[in-house]
Structure 1
Amino acid sequence: MLSFPRAALLLGAIALPALPLAAQQADHNAHAGHAMPADPIAAAVAAPSRTPANVARDKYRHPAETLAFFGVAPGQTVVEYAPSGGWYTEILAPLLRDHGTFYALQPTGGYLAGYKAFLAANPAVYDKVKVIAYPEETAQIPAGSVDTLLTFRNVHNMVMGGKEAETFAAFFAALKPGGTLGIVDHRLPEDRDSALEKSSGYLKVSTIRRIAEAAGFEFVAASEVNANPEDTADWEKGVWTLPPVLRNKEVDKDKYLAIGESDRMTLKFRKPVQ
């Protein structure tokens, strides 16, 4: 623990008067390396450790507004499920490094080794990220200990793989009563054929609500912060037609870049307080 400045400084035989207590505290805060910024989410979004390519996508992913909607704050225990290449890790890790706990619950497979290498390349920022392989190591996250669990553009993968029920059950077990589940995913209009959810990368809001509520969650609110009305969600090659994937490569590339990234739902759920 850092100490406050001394109450008085001696110069020869003359003692200078002490600073008022409030001034001492302000001086302490100004020099403490771990002092909390006025807007910690904005500070994390502006972290110099973020890669330029990821920063360029903020206009589509709206990280500050999204995290504020989900109620993420320093001091919390936060889990991100399937952080993949680390887009949100670049924000969540500095946000929670000195004040809180950040678990990266990464499915075993293609991204796990690469994600660990990404963290190891910048230990000054990522040294406190706790990587947990899903599902093998999930029990390392104490049951009922998590304030907020987040997953971005991953529920469609669960649905396509038939893993949504067991994965949401794991989310429910990890969260505290009253804890928040925050979901962002590609949005399929409600009047479309539900069979598209198995191949297009898009899901209906009603589908995610059904999955979450079946696992025991309560729906809290939806935000349009990640909406894109230019996305018609009817692409031959699914959501991957649009950036950042651009599955058609150079074919109609300018058209898809002008549309931008997908139309996304942003949904907030809560584990009931028993």
Structure 2
Amino acid sequence: MTRSYLTLALAALIATPVVAAPAVDPALTAAINGPQRSAANKARDAYRHPAETLTFFGLKPNQNVVEISPSAGWYTEILAPYLKAKGSYTAAGSDPAASERAAKGVAAFQAKLAADPAAYDKVKVGVFAKGVYDKATPAGSADMVLTFRNVHNWYIGGFAPEAFKAFYAMLKPGGTLGVVEHHLPESMPDAMQEKSGYMKQSTVVKLAEAAGFKLVGTSNINANPKDTHDYPKGVWTLPPNYAEGETDKAKYAAIGESDRMTLKFVKPK
């Protein structure tokens, strides 16, 4: 009986086709390896896996793509040159009128674009903040909206539901929302989402589904099993922030950057 069961199980396993990961577009590889990227940003590819992540989301060079909260432009260095010839890239960042810090951040981002027109002269700059959503992206015009490690900010700030509704409005029917976020295990207290910088996958999915999105794929591309998720100063304890300074820095360096969920949603047609 046991041999028969094992034989059947083995036969089923052999009969199951192996589905290869999608091939990475050579043009995307070229953008990732391009001279417009800083050495410091390239060094973080080991944690952020841009080729695998963007391929998982289904990025194509002819798409109209909006990145929400690009910060200093880590993904801008890849997306802008990749989409320049055939597509469109909008960086929807902070509202410079919100604070002096926000204004300085926007000015630094714009200076980055101006310093390398060969890579960035086609970039559109929009605004995405509480109560101020991107005006550079007409409703129903985006093929893809991307955001990397930002959901916790909107959740803590009390406008996550509105943020996801704004993404939904930007996208064409059938368009994709790609989300990478610091991952909090479901077994840990919900309250940790209020201040740790980590979010539960179930929470992010509920926010997206409440806005009308459908979850169509998840990936462990950006997972980190070394991350214990329970640090004195939240996710910012880990690199690259090292919020504890020199305290246990070697330990946190050995852990690396945070454990992250990678989620693909679509706006139904």
* TM-score bracket for the superposition, by shorter chain length: 0.7 to 0.9
Match of 1:62 in 2: 49
Larger Rg: 1 or 2?
A: 1
Deviation at 1:139, TM superposition (A): 3.0
Return the alpha-carbon distance in structure 2 between the equivalents of residues 67 and 118 of structure 1: 22
Say whether the 8 Å CA contact 1:112–1:133 is kept in structure 2.
no
Matched, 1:128 2:122: yes
Write out aligned runs for 1:1-274 (5 A): 39-109=26-96, 110=102, 111-135=105-129, 136=132, 138-273=134-269
The percent of aligned pairs where both chains have the same amino acid is 57
Name structure 1 gaps, 5 residues minimum: 1-36
Alignment TM-score, normalising by the size of structure 1:
0.84
- Aligned partner of 1:87: which letter? W
Q: Using the TM superposition, name which of 144-153 and 111-120 deviates more.
A: 111-120
Query: CA 1:180–1:205 in 2, change beyond 3 Å: closer, same or farther?
Result: same
Say whether the 8 Å CA contact 2:90–2:136 is kept in structure 1.
no
Match of 1:23 in 2: none
Alignment TM-score, normalising by the size of structure 2:
0.86
Deviation at 1:250, TM superposition (A): 1.0
Return the alpha-carbon distance in structure 1 between the equivalents of residues 133 and 179 of structure 2: 22
Runs of 4 or more off by more than 4 Å in structure 1? none
Match of 2:17 in 1: none
Return the alpha-carbon distance in structure 2 between the equivalents of residues 92 and 217 of structure 1: 23
Return the alpha-carbon distance in structure 2 between the equivalents of residues 116 and 243 of structure 1: 26
Name structure 2 gaps, 5 residues minimum: 1-23, 97-101
Return the alpha-carbon distance in structure 2 between the equivalents of residues 126 and 140 of structure 1: 16
CA-based RMSD: 1.3
Return the alpha-carbon distance in structure 2 between the equivalents of residues 221 and 39 of structure 1: 23
Deviation at 1:107, TM superposition (A): 2.3
Deviation at 1:137, TM superposition (A): 6.2
- Aligned partner of 2:167: which letter? F
Query: CA 1:38–1:187 in 2, change beyond 3 Å: closer, same or farther?
Result: closer
Secondary structure of the equivalent of 2:263? Answer: strand
* Matched residue count: 237
- Aligned partner of 1:40: which letter? A
Return the alpha-carbon distance in structure 2 between the equivalents of residues 38 and 181 of structure 1: 20
